[in-house]
Structure 1
Amino acid sequence: MVTSPSSTADGRFRIVVVEDDTANRLFFADYLSYSGFWVLAIPHGLDLEQHLKEFQPHLLLLDLGLPEIDGYTLLKRLRSSARWQDLPVIIVSGYAFADDQHRAMALGAQKYLVKPVPLHQLTQAIYSLLPHPARGD
């Protein structure tokens, strides 16, 4: 389970991006940082659990077609971990087939976006999964 469901002391949420394509990884990291998030962008998932432990993200953006260990395997591991089973996961993948989407959702992803992802769609998906501050309306 994510230990801190609220934003950081400065009000920013933390997002981990796992993307092997350098241009996509840098693009997502730059866009999300510009949008006000703390971002950790990594090229593979070999040490994902260690990165999660150190960074304590509020959300994970995960590619499926990764080297060494694919996104499906990583998602399955996260969902079998008591510590990370509730971490919101958005799949951002070039795999556009319905079977891929169904498989990822069955493994516990909350959202599935197909590359290229319109930035407003990415932002909407992220905000839909982050905790909202209590309002005094």
Structure 2
Amino acid sequence: MARKVLVVEDNELNLRLFCDLLRAHNYAVEGVRDGREALDAARAFMPDLIVMDIQMPHVTGIELMEAIRADAELAATPIMAVTAYAGKADEERARAAGADAYVSKPISLMRFVEAVESLLTVGRTDSVPAKP
């Protein structure tokens, strides 16, 4: 059975790119554009990995990661934060909220796939090197 990845990204082009790329690598993918729907989608889909945009309207990726880590069923799910903000403080904030990896945009497609594969291999027990 294919590993499942939930992609939470408000930008339609990025969402389509990430979902298409993951499907091309044989992952089962569900995309969510509105962060307000992300937690319910994660509970219904029960992904093996969550790819999370940080800057979204209505609810931030930071808030969503904190909610996921507080959810007994989802707490162990690895999360890869993907953001255009690449400052050290931004990465520290994302990791403190529960990100297992932090990848900045614009993203290298190869690096993106490598980070996904690494997180699905090591899970939550180890952090993945974040920067390309």
* RMSD over equivalenced CA pairs, Å: 1.2
Structure 1 unpaired stretches of 5+: 1-7, 133-137
- Offset at 1:131? 3.9
1:56 paired residue number: 46
Instruction: Pick from 108, 112, 117 the counterpart of residue 107 of structure 2.
Output: 117
Q: 1:43 and 1:97 mapped to 2: Cα distance?
A: 24
1:35 paired residue number: 25
Structure 2 unpaired stretches of 5+: 123-132
Q: Quote the sequence identity (%).
A: 30
1:103 paired residue number: 93
- Asked whether the equivalents of residues 52 and 80 of structure 2 are also in contact (C-alpha less than 8 Å), the reply is yes
Query: Which SS does the other structure have where 1:112 is aligned?
Result: strand
- Offset at 1:84? 1.1
1:31-56 CA-partner distances (Å, limit 9, x unpaired):
11111111101112112222112211
Query: Which SS does the other structure have where 1:46 is aligned?
Result: helix
2:120 paired residue number: 130
The AA in structure 2 aligned to 1:29 is C
- Asked whether the equivalents of residues 43 and 74 of structure 2 are also in contact (C-alpha less than 8 Å), the reply is no
Q: 2:11 and 2:119 mapped to 1: Cα distance?
A: 25
1:4 paired residue number: none
Query: Which SS does the other structure have where 2:72 is aligned?
Result: coil
Q: 1:89 and 1:106 mapped to 2: Cα distance?
A: 12
The AA in structure 2 aligned to 1:69 is V
Extract structure 1 runs of 4+ deviating beyond 6 A.
none
The AA in structure 1 aligned to 2:32 is I
- Offset at 1:64? 0.5
Which of structures 1 and 2 has the bigger CA Rg?
1
Tell me the number of residue pairs that the alignment of Structure 1 and Structure 2 aligns: 122
1:17 paired residue number: 7
The AA in structure 2 aligned to 1:57 is P
Structure 1 residue 76 corresponds to structure 2 residue 76: no
- Asked whether the equivalents of residues 48 and 78 of structure 2 are also in contact (C-alpha less than 8 Å), the reply is yes
Q: 1:70 and 1:26 mapped to 2: Cα distance?
A: 20
